[in-house]
Structure 1
Amino acid sequence: MTRISRTRDLFLFFMAVIYLAAFCSLYVQIPGLYGENGILPAKSVIGKEADSWDDLLDSQPTLLKLTPKLGLSVQQGMDLLCMAGMVVSFLCVVCKTMRDTVSFILLWMLYFSLYQVGQTFLWFQWDILLLEAGFLTILVAPFNLQIPVKKFRLSFYHQHDSITLWLVRWLLFRLMFSSGVVKLTSKCPTWWGLTALNWHFESQCIPTPLAWWWHHLPHWFLQLSVVMTYVIEIAIPFLFFAPVRSLRLFSFWCQVLLQLLIIVTGNYNFFNLLTIALSIALLDDDFLGYRNKKSTSSSSIINKLMSVVVFGYLGYQTVKQFGLNLKDDYTIGSKIAFSQKDFDRFLSVVVPWTIWFGAFSFAFEVLVALIRCYTEVKGSFWKNWAATQVLIYTVIGATMFAISLVPYSSLHRDAEKIVPPQAKTLHSRVNNFHLTSSYGLFRRMTGVGGRPEVVIEGSNSRDSGWREYEFFYKPGDLGRRPPVVAPHQPRLDWQMWFAALGSYQHNTWFLNLAYRLLTNERDVLELIQYNPFPDKPPKYLRAQLYKYHFSKDGGVKLNGGKWWTRELTGEYLPVVTKDEPTLVNFLQQQGLLDAKSKKSKKSKSSSSFVARAVQWLRDMIGQPEGFMFVMTVLLTAVTANFILATIMS
C-alpha cells in the first residue's frame, strides 16, 4: 500500500510556512490597528484578567487575559503572542523535528487568542479556515516523544496518519464544494449569466498587474472560465475520495491550477497557499518521488478504464449543463442550461448523499488503517499499540466529522434534517473555538458597473486645498500600478474595500480612522503610504466615493500611463474636525477614544522586564512595509531549512 509519511511532512511544512506568514503580517499592523491609539483598540473588547481556568475560558477565551500578570498592556500582549507565534512557526519551517503536536498546539492557541480580539480586521473566512486547518494539523502532526531506550523509540509515521489526512481532505471538499454551490444559491445574476469574471478582476479587493490584462480577455473566454470554475469547485471535489489514484492526482492539479490563477490575478494573502496545503492531502509518497511497490498490470488497466469513464462523463455533463458549442468564428459559446429549481433539486439529493458518502469513506479509511496495523507492523505488542492509536484517532476523527456536518448541512434544508441532534449539541458547545465553520467565497459579485472606492481627503480650508491620502495597496492614484502583496494581508486596505460597499454609519472604525488622521496619530499613519500633512494635521477631513474602472484595452501606455479611470459618485463622509462634539462623544461611547491612553501606555511599558523587552523589540522592528517584512522572514526560514537539510543529508 502507498505510504503517506512524506506527504504528511510536506503538509506540516506548508502549514508552518502559512502560520509564519500570518503572524508576520499581523505583527507589523498591531500598533495601528489595535494599539492604545489605534483604529480599533483591543483593550476595548478584552475581558477581565483571568484568575482561574473558568475566567480564561469564559465567553472570550484568549491568552491575552493572562498577559497583565506579566505587566503587559493589551497591545504589548498581542505583540508578545505574535512574536511567540513567529518564533515557533519559524523553527517549524527550519527544523522537521519541531513540526510536532506540541508546536502546532501552541501555534493554534496563539492565533486563536489574537483572533478573539481581532474584531472586524481579523474576521475573514481565511482566518477562520486557518483556525480549522490549524486544529486538524494538531491531529496530523506526530507527538515526537523520544524515549532514550533505542528499542522503544517511537516512529515518526503512524497507521492513523491516513485518518487525520482524510479529515484534511474532508475540509478541502467542504471548502471547495460550498464555494461553488453558494455562487448559484445566492441567485447572483452575474454567476448565473456567466459574466462574473467580466467584473471580478477590477472589483476585487486588491488586484495584481495581471488582473488588468485578464480583465480585457475576450468575453467568450471569461464566460468559459466561469464554467471551468464551477467544474473545479462543484464537480472535481468528488474525486478527492476516488479509489483511483490518477483521479485524485487529477483533482489535485485542478485545485492547484485554480489557486495559482487566483494568486497571479489577486492578492488574497495566505488563503490560496492554505488551500494548496489542504490539497496536499490528495497526494502520496509515490507522487513525491518516494516509490514503493508498483501496481500490477491488471489493476493498472482497471484504473485507466475507470479514469476514462469518469473523464468522459465529466466532459459530457459539462457540455450538456453549460451548453458548450463551437461557433463559426472558432470561439466557444456557453450558457447555463439548468434552472434554479433544477439546481435546488440537485442539491436536495447530492448534499445529503455527500454526508452519507463521507461517513462511509471515513469508516473505510479506519478499516484500512486497522488492517495495516496487523499486516505491516511487526511484533504483537506494536500491532496492538498501533491499533489502539487508530481507535483513539477514530473517535477524535468521528467527532470532528460529526460537528463539521452542522455548518456544512446549511447548504440545503434537506441536509439539515439528517444531521444527528447529538452533533448539533456538540457543535454548539465548541462553536466558540471555531473548530469547524461554513464556507462560501465570492457568494455575490460586487462592483458591477465599477468598483466603489473611498478616497480620504484633508484640508485646512472647507472650500479649497483638499489633498488625498494615499494607501499602500488599494486603488487610489490612477497611474499607480496594482501591487503584488500576498501572502501579506494589509487589513486596513482590505477593510476600506468593504467600507466602500456600505456607509460609514455601519463602519464605526472608519470614524476613528478619520479622528486619528485629524490628530496625525503616528501608529495609524504607518499603515498609510502617503500623508499629505506630515508636519501638522489638517483642520478638516472628508471622504469621497468614486467608481473605479480599469483603463481601456490597448495597453497602459496608450492610456497615458494610467491603470485606472474614475468618476465621482457622491460624498461618503461629510466634513469633520477633531473637536466636533458629535464625533468625539460617539468615539468615547464606543470605547475607541480615551484621553488617558497615552499615559497608561507609558506606565505599562516600564512596569516589568517582559514589558520592556517586548517594547524594545517593537521599537527595533517598528511597523515596516508588510510585504517586504513577510517575504524577508519567509525566505530566511526556507533558506535555513534548505541549508539544514543539505547538511543533514
Structure 2
Amino acid sequence: MPLPSPLSWYSHHLPHWFLSLVQVFANVSEIILPFLFLVPIRSVRMTSFVFQIVLQICIVLTGNFDFSNMLLVTLLLSLLDDQFFYGRKKSLSKWSIVGTIFNVLIHGAILYGVVLLFSLKINGTRINSEIAFTKSQFDNILGQGLTYTIHFGLLSLAGTVLYTLSNVLFDNQGTGSKTFGIISTIFYGVIAILLFFSNTVPLASLHPASNSTINPAIRATYNRLHKLHAVNQYGLFSKMTGIDGRPEIVLEGSNSIEGPWKEYNFLYKPGNVNHSLPFVAPYAPKLDWQMYWAAYSTYDKQPWLLSLTHRLLVGKSEVLALLDKLHSPFVQQPPKYIRGILYKSKSAWWTREKVGEYFPAYTKDSPGLIEFLKARNLLPTISKQVVNPIWKQALDTIRYITNHLEATLLFWAVFTAGLALICTSGSSKKISQNTFYYTGLFYFMYFFL
C-alpha cells in the first residue's frame, strides 16, 4: 500500500493462517459477492452490502487509500432503500419470506463453494485455507461468468423497471400524478438501461471471451459517453506491488560530497524507521503518494522529483512546507548536495535495507540537473505579471494559516462537525452543544491516538 497506517504493522504480523483466511474473505467479497448486487431481492442485496462495508472498514483501518474507500461506500449506498433510511417496515408477506429463503440458499451455496474452492479445514483453533483451483480454471469461469452476468443484470434491470411501472399504473392516484409517474419512470428507466449497456463495455473487457461478445453499437455508445466520464473503469492497482519488499526513496542532503548525509523526512510516507505513521485517509497527500510510485520507476522518468530536489537545494519555503520540518535537516539553510537513495522495506516499515543510489548527488547549479529541468520547462521562473496586491495579501494570509494546520485533523474536524449537525435534531442550542461535544471528542481521540 502507498501509505501504511499505524495498524498496518500489526496486521502484517498476524498469524499466517489468519491472513490467508482474510485473503479468502477479500477475494469472495470483491469477486463473487458484487454479482449479487444485481439480484432483485432486498435481503440478498443487504447481506452483500454488509460484507462490502466490513471489507471497506478493514481496508481503511490497515491502509491509507485516500478517499477511494469513501467513494466505494458512496456507491454501495445505492443498494439501500427507503426502508433502510426511514425505517419504513413492510408487513410480513409471502414474498418477503420467499426472499429470506432465497437469501439463505444463495449465501449458503456461496459458503459451500468457498469451502470447496479454498479447501477450508478446521485444525484445532485454526482454519486452514488453500486454493483448490488452477489459473486456467479461474480464467474459464471468469470468461463465462461475465457473459452470464451481463445477461442476468439486463433481465434484473428490465424486471425492476417493469415492476416500478406496474406500480405506477395500478396506483390509485389522479390522472396528472399517474401521467407524471409514468413519464418519469420511463425517463429514468431509459437512462438506467443506457448506462447499463455502457457499463457492459468496461465489465466485459476484463476477459477476452466476454469482450468479443459486445455489440459494436454498444461500444460506440460507450465511447461517446466516455467523454462525459459517466461510465468508467475503476481500480487502484492493476497488479500487486511490494510483494518482495517495499521500495522506498529517501532524499539525503549534505554540505560535502563526502558526507555526512542527513535524511529528509516526509509527513506521511515511511521514512525514519523509528517513527510510526498516522491515519491520513481520506486526505490524499499527493507528494507522499507520488514518492511511493516513483520508487517503482527511474528518476529520469519522474521529472517532478528532480524539480523537487532543485527547489530543496534553493530553499523554497513552499516545498519545505510539504515535508516534516520538525524531523528534517536543512530547514533554515539548504544543503549544497542532495541525493536519492533507494531502500527496500521488510516487514512493513520498521526495518529496511539499502539497495543503492536512486539518483546521484546534485547541487543547485549542477549542469545535468539544470539541463534536465530546462528541457522540461520545470525551472522556477519569476512572474512579471502584475498582481493585485490586496488579493495577493489575502491569499498569502490564507496559505500561511492553512500551512500551520495539520491537514488530516482539519478535514476530520470539519467532517465531524458537519456530521454532528446532520445527526442531531432539536433546538439550535441543542445542536450547538452536540456539535461542540462531538467535535471536542474527536480532537481528544485524535491527539490521544
Q: Normalized against structure 2, the TM-score is what?
A: 0.89
- Determine the structure 2 residue equivalent to 1:546: 343
- Determine the structure 1 residue equivalent to 2:113: 317
Q: Are 1:572 and 2:358 counterparts?
A: yes
- Determine the structure 1 residue equivalent to 2:129: 334
Distance 1:621 1:397 in 2: 42
Distance 2:125 2:318 in 1: 56
Which amino acid in structure 1 is aligned with residue 329 of structure 2?
P
Distance change >3 Å, CA 339–CA 639, structure 1 → 2: same
Residue 511 of structure 1 and its aligned partner are, at CA, apart by: 1.0
- Determine the structure 1 residue equivalent to 2:443: none
Partners of 1:605 and 1:615 within 8 A in 2: no
Distance 1:371 1:594 in 2: 65
- Tell me, what secondary structure is at the counterpart of 2:340? strand
Equivalences for 1:327-476 in 2 at 5 Å?
327=123, 329-376=124-171, 378-476=173-271
Distance change >3 Å, CA 224–CA 490, structure 1 → 2: same
- Tell me, what secondary structure is at the counterpart of 2:355? strand
- Tell me, what secondary structure is at the counterpart of 1:433? coil
Q: Are 1:629 and 2:410 counterparts?
A: yes
Which amino acid in structure 1 is aligned with residue 357 of structure 2?
E
Distance change >3 Å, CA 333–CA 389, structure 1 → 2: same
- Determine the structure 1 residue equivalent to 2:88: 291
- Tell me, what secondary structure is at the counterpart of 2:205? helix
Which amino acid in structure 2 is aligned with residue 411 of structure 1?
L
Which amino acid in structure 2 is aligned with residue 393 of structure 1?
Y
Distance 1:332 1:347 in 2: 27
Distance change >3 Å, CA 376–CA 293, structure 1 → 2: farther
Which amino acid in structure 2 is aligned with residue 520 of structure 1?
G
- Tell me, what secondary structure is at the counterpart of 2:310? helix
Q: Are 1:306 and 2:89 counterparts?
A: no
Partners of 1:588 and 1:594 within 8 A in 2: no
Q: Are 1:641 and 2:422 counterparts?
A: yes
Residue 300 of structure 1 and its aligned partner are, at CA, apart by: 4.0
Residue 314 of structure 1 and its aligned partner are, at CA, apart by: 0.9
Which of 14, 35, 43 is 1:246 aligned to? 43
Note the alpha carbon deviations across 1:122-156, whole angstroms, 9 max, x for none.
xxxxxxxxxxxxxxxxxxxxxxxxxxxxxxxxxxx
Distance change >3 Å, CA 390–CA 299, structure 1 → 2: closer
Residue 604 of structure 1 and its aligned partner are, at CA, apart by: 3.3
Partners of 1:526 and 1:623 within 8 A in 2: no
Distance 2:315 2:92 in 1: 68
- Tell me, what secondary structure is at the counterpart of 1:568? strand
- Determine the structure 1 residue equivalent to 2:440: none
Note the alpha carbon deviations across 1:522-567, whole angstroms, 9 max, x for none.
111111112411222111100111111237xxxxxxxxxxx70111
Note the alpha carbon deviations across 1:248-272, whole angstroms, 9 max, x for none.
1111110010001111111112211
- Tell me, what secondary structure is at the counterpart of 1:364? helix
CA RMSD of aligned residues (A): 2.3
- Tell me, what secondary structure is at the counterpart of 2:7? helix
Residue 381 of structure 1 and its aligned partner are, at CA, apart by: 0.9
Distance 1:465 1:262 in 2: 40
Distance change >3 Å, CA 605–CA 534, structure 1 → 2: farther
Residue 387 of structure 1 and its aligned partner are, at CA, apart by: 1.3
Segments of 5+ residues of structure 2 without an aligned counterpart are 432-449
Residue 226 of structure 1 and its aligned partner are, at CA, apart by: 0.9
- Tell me, what secondary structure is at the counterpart of 2:119? coil
Note the alpha carbon deviations across 1:254-291, whole angstroms, 9 max, x for none.
00100011111111122112212222222223233522
Partners of 2:225 and 2:231 within 8 A in 1: no
Partners of 1:504 and 1:572 within 8 A in 2: yes
Distance change >3 Å, CA 404–CA 610, structure 1 → 2: farther
Partners of 2:3 and 2:64 within 8 A in 1: yes
Distance 1:355 1:345 in 2: 16
Distance 1:429 1:275 in 2: 25
Note the alpha carbon deviations across 1:361-404, whole angstroms, 9 max, x for none.
22122112212322346211111112112222223222222222
Distance 1:376 1:466 in 2: 78
Q: Normalized against structure 1, the TM-score is what?
A: 0.62
Partners of 2:40 and 2:156 within 8 A in 1: no
User: Which of structure 1's runs of 4+ aligned residues deviate more than 6 A?
Assistant: 609-612
Which of 305, 310, 327 is 1:510 aligned to? 305
- Determine the structure 1 residue equivalent to 2:330: 533
Partners of 1:323 and 1:334 within 8 A in 2: yes
- Tell me, what secondary structure is at the counterpart of 1:545? strand
Distance change >3 Å, CA 406–CA 244, structure 1 → 2: closer
Tell me the number of residue pairs that the alignment of Structure 1 and Structure 2 aligns: 428
Distance change >3 Å, CA 605–CA 322, structure 1 → 2: farther
Which amino acid in structure 2 is aligned with residue 266 of structure 1?
G
Equivalences for 1:39-78 in 2 at 5 Å?
none
Distance change >3 Å, CA 360–CA 482, structure 1 → 2: same
Which amino acid in structure 2 is aligned with residue 578 of structure 1?
K
Residue 618 of structure 1 and its aligned partner are, at CA, apart by: 3.7
Deviates more, 1:231-240 or 1:398-407: 398-407
Note the alpha carbon deviations across 1:429-483, whole angstroms, 9 max, x for none.
3433322222334443221232111110111100012111110011111111121
Segments of 5+ residues of structure 1 without an aligned counterpart are 1-203, 552-562
Distance change >3 Å, CA 641–CA 445, structure 1 → 2: same
Which amino acid in structure 2 is aligned with residue 260 of structure 1?
I
Partners of 1:369 and 1:390 within 8 A in 2: yes
Partners of 2:40 and 2:160 within 8 A in 1: no
Which amino acid in structure 2 is aligned with residue 489 of structure 1?
A
Q: Are 1:270 and 2:104 counterparts?
A: no
Residue 605 of structure 1 and its aligned partner are, at CA, apart by: 4.5
Residue 626 of structure 1 and its aligned partner are, at CA, apart by: 1.4
- Determine the structure 2 residue equivalent to 1:589: 375
Q: Are 1:213 and 2:10 counterparts?
A: yes
Distance 1:577 1:265 in 2: 39
Which amino acid in structure 1 is aligned with residue 16 of structure 2?
H
- Tell me, what secondary structure is at the counterpart of 1:572? strand
Note the alpha carbon deviations across 1:55-91, whole angstroms, 9 max, x for none.
xxxxxxxxxxxxxxxxxxxxxxxxxxxxxxxxxxxxx
- Tell me, what secondary structure is at the counterpart of 1:207? coil
Which amino acid in structure 2 is aligned with residue 282 of structure 1?
L
Which amino acid in structure 1 is aligned with residue 364 of structure 2?
K
Partners of 1:220 and 1:333 within 8 A in 2: yes
